Chains A and B, each alone.
Chain A
Amino acid sequence: MLEIKTLSKHFGGVKAVDNLDLQVERGEIMGLIGPNGSGKSTLVNLVCGVLKPTSGEVIFEGNPMAGQVPCARLRHGIARTFQNIRLFGGLTVWQNLWVARNSTEDIRSQNILRRWLGSGTTLKREIETMLEFSNLADKADVLASNLAFGEQRRLELARAVAAKPRLLLLDEPAAGMNQAEVAELEQRIRSLREQGITILLVEHVMQLVMGVTDRITVLNFGSKIAEGSPNDIQENTAVQEAYLGHSD
């Protein structure tokens, strides 16, 4: 579904992503791990269109994504969450989801006036369902900036899902969570997969990565050093070295 071909991103002399090849199959949950600075966030930004590659291609469902801005890629079906939450703080929880429903097929097929108004019972029910799913139903009118940290994370995820993506990139969604919250997140990710969403999970929290992913890719210094099932990766010496260093 997602094909990354010889993708490179150089910032001056730094090769943040270096000739990377990666495939994500439809319906799978792919984990992306690697030490800090290995290029994970850069990769997410490249796939979503926030950054332009120095060379190489991002191909989604057979369509090259070159030159497409993030909102265009969203229309193709790629959504993402941000590592450091970027909610619209001055808007309420409801409004955050409301604006995210801007570019899905069903919305865009409506006439302009209905789009602008954003009213209609179907839309209302859909947003209410999403709020239920994220345990935020009673916070609908709260300003996003007034939410607790865990609630903000849930809203961030809900907002990305609100756009009805087919591919969802999660950028360290478990950062700062305790074990119970991670377990909850794991459940949520599973049910997203059941809804038919393919997921690329960038994460440091191993409990989540090992528990929920089908396959894992490991990056170091911008290139792939290993790829395989969670078990394989745990046994892989190159991966251990990347994280822990040599023992000479």
Chain B
Amino acid sequence: MDYYLNLINTIGIHTLLGLSAYLLILTGQVSMAQAGFFGIGAYTAAILTVIFEWSILSAIGAAMLVSGGVAFLVGFPALRVRGLMLVVATIAFSEFARMFFYNLKWRVVRDGAEIGPDGTMGFAEIRYFNDNGWLNWEVTIFLWVFVAVVMALIWWSDKTRIGAVLRAVGEDELAADSTGINVTVVKIAAMTAGGVVAGLAGSLYAHQVTDLDHHTFTVLLATFAIAYPILGGLSNVFGTLIAVLFIQGLLVEGLRFLGDWRMLLFGALIILAMNIKPLGLFDNQTIRILRNALGVKRRSGSV
């Protein structure tokens, strides 16, 4: 049972991660910085609950603010680089964040034991849920409430002018600019929002695994983050969720019996997917076909 709860938690956290990248890719910014924001959220929330003994909600809130703030700052230099160069720059940022946490040492003695991030040894003993008597299924529900809220928010904003403006910027910046959309504001806002969501994911992650290691926050994680919205397509948030279910559920866990060979399969599957359906698994056509088949009518002003 615990095994499955763990899996469901991981799916939830990765969905948040994917959604944070989704917002950015809508505006045409392919960002590998989500791993960095994830890590910042994780360490901030963990430090707050472990060293400063904050409650979980305030810690998560603060972590979201911090990672959002960093994302806001990253947003400005990100404006100056386009396309692949942005990928490179954001990889650099995530790596920088990872190395920063690799070197972070902040040990505090409490009740006779040392706690806190310990540089290269990682950050263990993030025991908030345990210490406060949370049952495993309670953690899962808690986590998924956040996921549901974020998904709902993004789904809703897609139906308002926000969604259309984001996509307009992603489609054609020059036309957007000439049509009166302040591209700078939109892109930085997207980056900030992405940072907030990734920070949320990180803070939940830290408390779920109770043990942070810099190896988690690598380019691999950042790749997962953008893989979900790309594979799932950009039409709506459910594409991302399905992509997470597919990748995490099937490949990583369900194929565990393949043992060490699953990464091999993962790599091969990505290559295959990109060759066969470069637009993602749920591109516009698929959605439109599904809609027609199910007889869903669209009102003016909705996607």
Contacts and interface: CB of A to CB of B under 8 A. Distances in A.
B162 A102 contact: no
Interface stretch (A34-42, A81-89, A228-236): A81-89
Interface of B: 157, 160-162, 164-165, 167-168, 171-172, 174-183, 284, 298, 300-301, 303
Interface string A192-234: 0000000000000000000000000000000000000000000
Interface of A: 48, 50, 69-71, 74-75, 79-80, 82, 86-92, 94-95, 98-100, 102-104, 115-119, 124, 140-141, 143, 159-160, 163
Chain B CB within 10 Å, residue with most, of A75, A79, A100: A100
A132 B94 CA distance: 50
B162 A88 contact: no
B179 A90 contact: no
Nearest to B156: A117
A89 B160 CA distance: 18
Nearest to B288: A143
A71 B162 contact: no
Contact of A116 (B162, B175, B179, B300): B162
B301 A99 contact: no
A98 B301 contact: yes
B175 A87 contact: yes
A94 B300 CA distance: 7
B300 A117 contact: no
Instruction: Sort A-B residue pairs by CB-CB distance and give the 6 closest, nearest first.
Output: A118-B161, A103-B180, A86-B175, A74-B180, A95-B164, A70-B177
B175 A91 contact: no
A82 B175 contact: yes
Nearest to B298: A141
Given A90-B284, A118-B160, A118-B161, A140 B300 contact: yes
Contact of B161 (A70, A86, A117): A117
B153 to A, nearest CB: 12
Given A98-B161, A118-B161, A141 B300 contact: yes
Given A91-B164, A95-B303, A163-B179, 5 more contacts: A50-B177, A71-B177, A98-B161, A99-B165, A100-B180
Contact of A117 (B160, B172, B182): B160
Contacts of B303: 92, 95
Nearest to B183: A71
